[in-house]
Amino acid sequence: MSTKKAVARKGKRSRAAQDGPPLVAFVFSAAGILLGYLSGEVIFAARPHPVHWAVGLALGIIGWVAGKIYFRYKGDIA
């Protein structure tokens, strides 16, 4: 019989074993929302209307997707 002991690896958890969405997706989404809202306020300052909210939401979704792509190739930021 072999006397080797099983050694548990202490490395990073696999991406599939993580709980919930990655932090980088939240960061990119928050940055997109802020950038979209502020740019909408600057562009539409002469005639205020809720388009800046729509631009913020659209850039937030784009930021979420960009964060997921970043996570897929580079990993999480935390």
Mind listing the pLDDT tens digit for each residue in 23-59? 888 898 999 988 888 888 888 777 667 777 788 888 9
CB atoms within 10 A of CB 8: 5
Look over the chain and give the mean of its residue pLDDT values, rounded to a whole number. Answer: 78
d(CA 74, CA 68): 10
The HSE-up count of residue 7 (CA atoms within 13 Å, CB side) is 5
Provide mean pLDDT across the span 12-21. 62
Q: Residue 39 is encoded by which pair of tokens? A: 């740019």
pLDDT at 62 (0 to 100): 92
Taking the C-alpha atoms of residue 41 and residue 58, their distance in angstroms, rounded to an integer, is 15
Q: What is the CA radius of gyration of the chain?
A: 20
Q: Cα(first)–Cα(last) distance of the chain, in Å? A: 43
